[in-house]
Amino acid sequence: MIRIPEIITRHVLIALLLGGVTGMAFTLFLIEFDRLTGTEAFCTGCHSMELVAVPYRESAHYNPVSGVRASCGDCHVSEGVFAATWDHIRGGKDLFAQLFGPDYDDPAINALHLPEAAFAVRQWFRRSDSATCKRCHTLDAINGTRADTLMIHQQDARGGSCIDCHYNLVHRRVPDRKTFKRDKWNRMIEREFDMPPGEADKLLRQ
């Protein structure tokens, strides 16, 4: 006969049971929370995100031949409940900026700030060794439609990370940080939105 230690009283047992159920419920909540907050519908709930989703809907990740559509969270939220939750906590600063920062809902302001956002996201991909790409893409299985695609990925892409070569696939094209020229970007946006010269710099300073 096993003797239950005296410390395990009825109250403790109830507390453990409640705690366990709450913990499980919370974990399940996080899983669902992470899933729901990674959907296109949720992300584009902010107008600023709708602006970056427009080119996405023209891209191969939205309209792939295979029919396997990648949603916002598939690329931009890590796999696993802890990592995903952490990404959302970090993402909270974007929500803060959306509420209290520049008017990202304005297409011109959005486009002016886009390069820095792109640089940050590319850095994020690099740090994770393009982990979210690899959810769907397996290096050994990349055959391509030309024989050379397979060979390049087998021989030349070894040691690199997806993001090293594959960027500007989905959203509006932004040059690599190394060759980005803020002045030229601003002039382009000014032309695009019929703004007087210098207006972009003014908007950025605000």
Partner 1 sequence: MVYPENYNKPTRLLLLVSAIWFGTFGIALAEKVTLSADHWGVAEGKACIDCHKKSSPGLFRQWEESAHAEAGVNCLDCHQAVAADDDAVEHEGAVIATIVSPRDCGRCHTAESKEMHNSVHSQAVALIGNRIPALAESVSEKALLQAGCTQCHGSVVEVRGDGTLSPESWPNTGIGRINPDGSRGSCSACHGRHQFSKAQARAPGACTRCHSGADSPDDEVYAGSKHGLLFTANRHRMNLDSDRWVTGRDYSAAPTCVTCHMGAAPGLNASHDVGMREAWSLNGPVSEQQYLVIFEDGERRELPVAQPVPRRKSDLAKLDGSTATVKAAATPKQRRQAMSRVCVECHSKGFTSGFMRQFDNAMDLYNESFGKPALSIMRALYEKGLLTATAFDEPLEFTYWKLWHDEGTRFRHGAAMAGPSQTGWQGLHRIAQLYYGSFLPQLREVAGEETAKSLIDKYTSDREARNDTGYPRAPIPLVGYGAGKP
Interacting residues with partner 1 (CB under 8 A): 148, 151-152, 155-156, 160, 164-165, 172-176, 178-181, 184-189
Provide, rounded to whole angstroms, the least separation between the CB of residue 139 and partner 1.
15
Q: Which is nearer to partner 1, 84 or 112 (CB)?
A: 112
Q: Which is nearer to partner 1, 91 or 175 (CB)?
A: 175
Provide, rounded to whole angstroms, the least separation between the CB of residue 82 and partner 1.
32
Provide, rounded to whole angstroms, the least separation between the CB of residue 109 and partner 1.
16
Provide, rounded to whole angstroms, the least separation between the CB of residue 140 and partner 1.
17
Q: Which is nearer to partner 1, 124 or 180 (CB)?
A: 180
Q: Which is nearer to partner 1, 72 or 174 (CB)?
A: 174
Q: Which is nearer to partner 1, 68 or 147 (CB)?
A: 147
80: its two tokens: 């696993």
Provide, rounded to whole angstroms, the least separation between the CB of residue 126 and partner 1.
12
Q: Is 205 exposed, middle or buried (0-12, 13-18, 19+ CB in 10 A)?
A: exposed
